[in-house]
């Protein structure tokens, strides 16, 4: 194949009108029929989740033990975890959020205990992997008083209680009012310190999520056609992910919209020569990927290629700066310097790079470990983060190449190999 346009029309590709119809635009098909038509494009894909095991109960128990060790070092008597990724990280249990309190308490010594509405106790018990104490509160009772009672039963009547950073304010406020004798503080010295360093098994799950994302892009990008919108391409990505055995999505920004790093409510129609920026990932047993690829539909211009190549050099500089023991801010400093040396910026000004160079990743797509100026934390093995120094040309287009890396005993390593060139990013 001679160019990008040829790749997008490789054998078996339906015409633009047919594909737009399959996506449910401009036709009388029902949504269900349209989905069946789309899914048929990916029947050949293997289920990449076959044989992939989740985090073991033994590892969850080890995490609780590590948390208790850190509690002792930081003077916490217990930590309170609402139904967020922190709850799953330690207990292996997922629970939805509502206006009713559902949480776990990990004491510095002893077993994990749980609290939930009384009518949910049996359902929660079905999901418990660690600990066996569940206390319920009736609808007319105060869950905050029950938290105080549970802590008392654990031998905790004073001291410092760590609150998971994603805990909603009304819950924290309720506990504070019910327990003025307790000192509520952020649990970050425990939770962040546990989660920022990934285990070997976590790295395996993150690697699989990244592998699946690359496979999904290779599968659906050839089906992109003129006349589509970003939402059409996103639906294609969701279907490819589903065929591969996971839930995932690639948010897609076309043309001028790509100059807004997180998109717009505007959805241009794809035409020849337009930038297509795709950003997203999937979950593998709760561990997520985050990859961005930017290409041109059809023939690219000299300016588009120039900015794309500059972006690639900036990403490579950030990766080279990610050295063991170096402050993580060095990643941002190095990547940004490439862009400012080319005459863009400076700092966060556009045209240029308007945001940090990267973010931590794991159970949440954005978590601790940002590649940003001011983050002096030394890089160490097990830390995982993105390197994505977007270049924005307001009113024209933006280019982002995003791959995530992890720190090894020998330095940084990519989960995914960055693309070679603006017209060489996907496998046919």
Task: Report domain extents, the chain.
Answer: 4-44+198-414, 57-195
Residue 27's pLDDT is 43
User: Any idea what the Cα angle at residue 57 is, between residues 114 and 154, rounded to 5°?
Assistant: 30
Specify burial of residue 8 (Cβ count, 10 A radius: 0-12, 13-18, 19+): buried
CA distance 261 to 132: 46
Residue 262's pLDDT is 81
Indicate the fold that domain 57-195 takes in CATH: Creatine Amidinohydrolase; Chain A, domain 1 (3.40.350)
Identify the segments of the chain with pLDDT beneath 70: 1-39, 428
Looking only at the bridges linking them, the beta strands covering 291-296 and 275-284 are antiparallel
User: Any idea what the Cα angle at residue 308 is, between residues 306 and 310, rounded to 5°?
Assistant: 70
> Which CATH architecture fits 4-44+198-414?
Alpha-Beta Complex (3.90)
pLDDT, one tens digit per residue, over 239-271 is: 999 999 999 999 999 999 999 888 788 899 999
Q: How far is CA 272 from the centre of its chain?
A: 31
The overall pTM is greater than 0.85 = yes
Q: Do domains 4-44+198-414 and 57-195 have the same CATH topology?
A: no
């Amino acid at each position: 194949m001679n160019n990008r346009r040829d790749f997008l029309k490789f054998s078996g590709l339906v015409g633009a009108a047919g594909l737009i119809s399959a996506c449910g635009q401009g036709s009388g098909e029902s949504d269900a029929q349209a989905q069946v038509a789309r899914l048929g494009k990916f029947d050949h894909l293997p289920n990449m989740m076959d044989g992939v095991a989740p985090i073991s109960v033994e590892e969850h128990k080890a995490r609780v033990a590590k948390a208790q060790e850190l509690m002792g070092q930081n003077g916490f008597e217990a930590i309170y975890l609402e139904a967020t990724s922190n709850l799953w990280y330690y207990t292996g249990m997922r629970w939805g959020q509502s206006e009713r309190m559902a949480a776990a308490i990990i004491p510095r010594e002893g077993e994990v205990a749980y609290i939930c509405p009384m009518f949910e106790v049996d359902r929660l018990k079905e999901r418990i992997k660690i600990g066996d104490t569940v206390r319920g509160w009736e609808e007319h009772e105060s869950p905050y008083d029950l938290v105080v009672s549970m802590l008392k039963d654990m031998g905790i009547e004073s001291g410092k209680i760590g609150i998971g950073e994603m805990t909603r304010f009304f819950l924290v406020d309720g506990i504070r009012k019910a327990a003025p004798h307790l000192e509520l503080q952020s649990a970050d010295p425990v939770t962040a310190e546990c989660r920022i360093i990934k285990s070997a098994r976590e790295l395996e799950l993150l690697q699989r999520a990244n592998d699946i994302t690359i496979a999904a892009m290779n599968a659906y990008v050839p089906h992109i056609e003129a006349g589509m919108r970003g939402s059409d391409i996103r639906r294609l990505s969701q279907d490819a992910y589903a065929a591969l055995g996971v839930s995932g999505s690639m948010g897609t920004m076309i043309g001028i919209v790509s100059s807004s790093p997180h998109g717009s409510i505007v959805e241009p129609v794809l035409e020849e020569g337009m930038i297509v920026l795709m950003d997203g990932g999937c979950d593998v047993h709760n561990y997520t990927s985050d990859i961005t690829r930017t290409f041109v539909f059809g023939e690219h211009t000299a300016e588009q290629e120039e900015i794309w190549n500059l972006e690639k050099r900036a990403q490579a500089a950030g990766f080279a700066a990610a050295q063991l023991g170096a402050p993580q801010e060095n990643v941002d400093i190095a990547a940004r310097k490439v862009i400012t040396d080319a005459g863009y910026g400076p700092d966060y000004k556009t045209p240029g790079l308007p945001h940090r160079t990267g973010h931590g990743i794991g159970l949440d797509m954005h978590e601790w470990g940002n590649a940003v100026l001011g983050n002096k934390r030394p890089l160490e093995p097990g830390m995982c983060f993105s390197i994505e120094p977007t270049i924005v040309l307001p009113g024209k287009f933006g280019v982002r190449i995003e791959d995530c890396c992890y720190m090894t005993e020998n330095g940084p390593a990519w989960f995914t190999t960055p693309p070679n060139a603006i017209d060489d990013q996907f496998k046919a």
